[in-house]
Amino acid sequence: MSASVSSATAEWLTPEAQALIDRARAMIPRLAERAPQAEAAGKVPEETVRELEEAGLLRVLQPKRWGGHEMDPRVFYSIQMALAEGCMSTAWIYGVMGVHYWQLSLFPNQAQDEVWGRNPSTRIASTYMPVGKAEPVEGGYRLSGHWGFSSGCEHAEWVFLGGLLPKRDGSPGLEHTTFLVPKADFKIVKNWDVLGLRATGSHDIVVENAFVPTHRTQRTNNYTLEGCPGRAENGSWLYRIPFIQVFQRAVSTACIGALNGAIAHFRARSAEHVGKHGGKTAEDPNAQLAVSEAMMVADEQALVLLRNYEPIIANAKAGTRMEVEGRLLQRAQSARVSKICAQQVDELLRACAGSGLYKANPIERFFRDIHQARGHIANNADAYARAQGAVMLGLPNADPFV
């Protein structure tokens, strides 16, 4: 691990946690070797997912009673950053699917048993956009819809799908709801042909009139015991963290690791590369500035990530909730990761000059992957900065997830 994400005195960095992070780091060369083929296939290889599973990495946030590690989220994100140094697509689906082991723990125990009862390693994909149409029926809902961007869905047996339902307390308005649907009830529409993160296989999901029992639904932003009935069995502070404070980092943290991966390739290339006009890249002032600024940004972003989890965890342990100003600032800081990492990978690629633009240069893939990540709604840096700024200037909070 880099110095920014390791500390001999960090309480969360137990020997068991360090062992998992070390396993992730040991995978980096293999992930880098497989990355071009994974991108061409539009799918992270089954072999890679199997290795993630066998190493115990996917189940970092799963309750111990289901055989998971039930660890501090900072362990989870340290693993994600490490994986991204080899292949950002792998780290991306790791982040998304890994969070689902945490969210299912909030569902009623009956839903947990249906998914994990036979195989606690069973994987869940997702697409939370609230486009599902749910009709109330006896015992649950009839769900239909067409969702986009379900990363890693070909590796999953279940899927979390977003929709809107009337508030349970009868007050006006609708609230975001997560519906849990088995593979037999959804169809994958393979249409993921994009600039970056190509190996994530983030295809569309279609559901037609599927029955979803009530116990397979969870009010995503309801942090009460009633809204998260799984806490009755999963009593750790880990499952008292609000959804957005876990999920938002799952779709931005891979950018930090990818930037570190680009830095490593840039340093190795620049130490040996001599341009067509005889100049050494290592002696180019632009290259020197680009690598230094990129390293500072990667270090700073990792430090902010780890620091921000201190109050999140303190509040979860105390059963309290952070003030809205702090929650909005953290939301904006998470969204900003992809924006600022993109700026730095831009400079690294530019400093490679013309010969660096060939697809044989791995930095080119990191460039596309990080820019693709900026398109995720949770990484809309300017929107969330404005939302935080508005509250700081006395206006009401307009973000329903915060």
Query: What's the whole-number mean pLDDT along residues 181-194?
Result: 98
List Cβ neighbours of 61 (8 Å cut-off, separation of 6 or more).
68, 69, 70, 71, 73, 76, 98, 99, 101, 102, 105, 238, 246
Higher pLDDT, 275 or 170: 170
Angle formed at CA 118 by CA 117 and CA 124, multiple of 5 degrees: 75
Model confidence over 276-327: pLDDT tens digits? 656 788 899 999 999 999 999 999 999 999 999 999 999 999 999 999 999 9
pLDDT score at 355 = 81
Residue 6, pLDDT above cutoff 50: no
Outline where DSSP puts E strands in 184-261. 187-189, 203-213, 217-219
Asked if 89 and 369 touch (Cβ cutoff 8 Å), the reply is yes
Model confidence over 327-369: pLDDT tens digits? 999 999 999 999 999 999 999 999 998 888 888 899 999 999 9
Integer-rounded Cα radius of gyration of the chain: 21
Q: Whole-number mean pLDDT of the chain?
A: 95
Residue 189, pLDDT above cutoff 60: yes
The whole model's pTM is what? 0.95
CB neighbourhood size of 160 (10 A): 26
Distances (CA, A) of 72 to 175, 232, 271, 345, 395: 28, 20, 38, 29, 34
Q: What class has domain 3-106? A: mainly alpha
Angle formed at CA 327 by CA 321 and CA 330, multiple of 5 degrees: 135
Q: 253-272 and 324-351 helices cross at what angle (nearest 10)?
A: 20
Residue 190, pLDDT above cutoff 70: yes
* φ/ψ of residue 150, rounded to 5: -100, 90
Residue 1, pLDDT above cutoff 50: no
| DSSP strand pairing (174-182 vs 158-166) | antiparallel
Q: 88-103 and 28-41 helices cross at what angle (nearest 10)?
A: 90
DSSP 282: G
Amino acid at 219: R
* Percent of the chain residues topping a pLDDT of 70: 97
* Residue among 12, 71, 73 nearest 305 (CA): 73
Ranges in the chain annotated CATH 1.10.540.10: 3-106
Q: DSSP string covering 91-111, please?
A: HHHHHHHHHHHHHGGGS-HHH
Token digits of residue 348: 């690294």
Residue 7, pLDDT above cutoff 80: no
Q: Which CATH architecture has domain 123-220?
A: Beta Barrel (2.40)
Ranges of H-type helices in 319-393: 324-351, 362-373, 381-392
* Residue among 361, 383, 379 nearest 370 (CA): 379
| DSSP strand pairing (124-137 vs 158-166) | parallel
Model confidence over 34-67: pLDDT tens digits? 999 999 999 999 999 999 999 999 999 999 999 9
Asked if 103 and 160 touch (Cβ cutoff 8 Å), the reply is yes
List Cβ neighbours of 206 (8 Å cut-off, separation of 6 or more).
145, 146, 147, 186, 187, 189
Ranges in the chain annotated CATH 2.40.110.10: 123-220
CATH of 243-273+281-392 among 3.30.1490.270, 1.20.140.10, 1.10.10.10, 3.30.70.2190:
1.20.140.10
Q: 15-26 and 28-41 helices cross at what angle (nearest 10)?
A: 50
Ranges in the chain annotated CATH 1.20.140.10: 243-273+281-392
